[in-house]
Amino acid sequence: MFSSRLWRWALQTKLVLIIVYLSAVVGVGLAARRGSLRGPVEFFLAGRSLGPLVLVATMAATNFSAFTVVGFAGAGYRLGFAFYPVMGFGTAFMALSFLLIGLPVWRLGKRYGLVTPPELLVRRFDSRPLGVVFGTAMAVFTLPYLAIQPLAAGYALESTLGLPHALGGALVTALVVSYCLVGGVRSVAWTDVLQGLFMFAALALSLVAVARASGGFEVGLTALAEQTPEHFMRPGAGGGIALGIWGSYMLLWLLADPMFPQLFQRFYAARGERAIVRTAVAYPVITTVLFFLPVAIGVFGRLHVTGLEGGDTDRILPMMVERFGGPWLPGLVSAGLIAAIMSTMDSQLLTLGSIVERDLLGLGRSDASSPTLSSEAPRNARPGRRTHLLPTRLSLAALALVGYLLSLRPPATILALATETFGGLAVLLPSVVAALWWRRATAPGLIASIIAGETWVALAHFGLVPSFGLLAALPAVAVATLVLIAASLPTRSAAGAGHEWRGLASAGLTRREWAGWTVVFLAFLVLSIDWWRFGEAPRLVLGVPSWVGYFGVLGLLLTVAFAVLGRRLIDRSPGA
């Protein structure tokens, strides 16, 4: 009788915590929706008004999804600490793209009234077919990543409340859709601030609880290192992260993450260049600290749970918290996991909805060749008259349904799903780079590049092309780059980059300065692929391999480099 009442009390505690958290998220979203119905720029970009604090929070929360929480823990369980640097430092290094791509994209977006990622290319080349090809590739390869969110929500609510997996995923999907439809990106950005802080707190408390149940942080990890030393070495348990794969991951995030449609669109939404620079500077600190938490929880899981394989390993974090978190922590962690899910899912849906409406269906946009797109609605427009947002809302709801249906029968682990998504999006980077800086690039060249690169990704999925010991994304990007050059040189574009475009895209640095900064960041990349320590026996410091601390220091040094480069770029900005 006593145990039954205790169980019911614990269940009620979890339920109350989750309901309170979700109510707070909805409340913040509704409170922040002011002006969101004035037009696409308000609905999708919050009126280009996101300051440094909110931009940092929304960029981080949008990027750190269920993959960060559930997928990282599962990878830690399978592979060990070797997964931490390729994510912690790899994602930190990716923030270089905020400076190199985010700043010119913000300038061009503000000058020409751009709203969606494909509109950058449409405006540059005056080619609607290019926008359709680019937008379709973005949508197709974002959908698997979108499906990860309800998949992980189902895991969390099944473990915590005993809800069927499909029902838990459906509830979270419906909630996300509801406040996205009402508040747009302004609501999403402010809820991201709350959700990001909540996610960090939940993960930190979870690690403390699991470590205490393991006899202490250092004691538990030291005992595990004696049982399974491969979880404390590179290339990880089962050789899962060999040297070529390690180097591929270090480059993959730099190639793929800025092509996440929801991150790309955030560049447009910034209040100014300083907000983007401060986001880049903060990123290495955030990833160095935050990404360690779920990986360490997954590694600790080896002490307590054995025999998990494949997709079941992604359940290790909710299992550990449910077992050792007492009556209240499982509810808190489930709410934190839902925070990670919602903060990514809402942004993905809004951005994909804008792409489907404006670029694929051709609704709610104006002539891309005009100097300023007419997406900027008057400030005194009446919200009740904004009927052009209806197609967006219908697209958003349809995309949410597709993502949910894909989550019901996942074909692989969360890590595998995410990696394939990243490969497909990385193929788009050469097209964006060419649109910004290569005068000889043409629309036919970019279309051929995207088709060739995505074809390589598909062939690699079925094992029909060689991997060269690397992740499939790297050869795919190389193919896309070569095809872009080869197809652009003999063709002519309908529109070239004028003087104004080149001026806004320019960083203002001299060739000698660029050469110096190239050397600096190549040095960071070489130091991150520390082949000279691969395979060595683990040397533990406070229970953690010594090379984990090495990457922590490397990430903090990267922050310093971003701060110096960012200040130079702002000082030399065309608008300075």
List Cα–Cα distances, 142 to 172, 387, 418, 526, in angstroms: 18, 27, 9, 30
What CATH number is attached to the domain comprising 326?
1.20.1730.10
| Planar angle of CA 434, 91, 403, nearest 5 degrees | 80
| Residues contacting residue 307 through CB under 8 Å, at least 6 positions apart | none
Instruction: Note down the domain range covering 402.
Output: 14-363+372-571
9 is a domain residue = no
DSSP class of 505: H
* Strand residue runs (E) in 102-200: none
Residues 176, 400: contact at Cβ < 8 Å?
yes
Q: How far is it, in rounded angstroms, from Cα 35 to Cα 269?
A: 15
Among candidate residues 79, 83, 71, 85, the one with its CA nearest the CA of residue 228: 79
Among candidate residues 45, 41, 107, 95, the one with its CA nearest the CA of residue 436: 107
Residues 419, 83: contact at Cβ < 8 Å?
no
264 is a domain residue = yes
Residue 559 backbone zone (phi > 0: left; psi -120 to 50: alpha; other: beta) = alpha
Instruction: Annotate 256-288 with b (16+ C-beta within 10 A) or e (fewer).
Output: bbbbbbbbbbbbbbbbbbbbbbbbbbbbbebbb
Q: How far is it, in rounded angstroms, from Cα 484 to Cα 556?
A: 36
| Planar angle of CA 224, 228, 229, nearest 5 degrees | 95
Task: Give the residue carrying structure tokens 């404006």.
Answer: 358
Q: Rounded to an integer, what is the distance from CA 182 to the centroid of its chain?
A: 23
pLDDT of residue 418: 67
Among candidate residues 480, 475, 474, the one with its CA nearest the CA of residue 447: 480
465 SS3 class: coil
262 is a domain residue = yes
7 is a domain residue = no
List Cα–Cα distances, 40 to 23, 93, 371, 375, 387, in angstroms: 27, 32, 17, 6, 11
Q: What is the pTM of this model?
A: 0.86
21 is a domain residue = yes
Among candidate residues 528, 569, 542, 540, the one with its CA nearest the CA of residue 93: 528
pLDDT of residue 304: 93
Residue 428, token pair as written in the block = 């788009």
Q: How far is it, in rounded angstroms, from Cα 206 to Cα 220?
A: 15
Residues 160, 331: contact at Cβ < 8 Å?
yes
117 is a domain residue = yes
Q: Which residues pair with 541 in a beta bridge?
A: 544
For the chain, the straight-line distance linking the first and the last C-alpha, in angstroms and rounded, comes to 72
DSSP string covering 470-483: S-THHHHHHHHHHH
Q: How far is it, in rounded angstroms, from Cα 31 to Cα 187?
A: 8
2 is a domain residue = no
Task: Give the residue carrying structure tokens 């533990």.
Answer: 540
Residues in the chain: 576
1 is a domain residue = no
| Planar angle of CA 470, 135, 397, nearest 5 degrees | 110
Q: Which residues pair with 50 in a beta bridge?
A: 270
Residues 234, 555: contact at Cβ < 8 Å?
no
| Planar angle of CA 64, 337, 401, nearest 5 degrees | 80
CB atoms within 10 A of CB 125: 28
Please tell me the total count of domains within the chain.
1
Q: How far is it, in rounded angstroms, from Cα 11 to Cα 28?
A: 26
Give me the tens of pLDDT residue by residue for the chain, a chain 576 residues long: 445 555 565 666 777 777 787 777 777 766 766 655 566 788 788 889 899 988 988 888 777 766 777 789 999 999 999 999 999 999 999 999 999 999 999 999 999 999 999 999 999 999 999 999 999 999 888 888 788 778 877 877 777 777 788 888 888 888 888 767 666 777 778 777 777 788 888 889 999 999 999 999 999 999 999 999 999 999 888 888 888 889 998 998 999 999 999 899 999 999 999 999 999 999 999 999 999 999 999 999 999 998 888 878 888 988 898 888 877 787 777 777 777 777 778 888 888 888 988 898 876 554 443 443 334 443 334 444 444 566 777 777 888 888 888 788 766 566 666 667 888 999 999 999 999 999 899 999 999 999 999 999 989 888 899 988 888 899 999 999 999 999 999 887 655 566 788 788 887 788 899 999 999 999 999 999 988 888 888 889 999 999 999 999 999 999 999 999 999 999 888 765
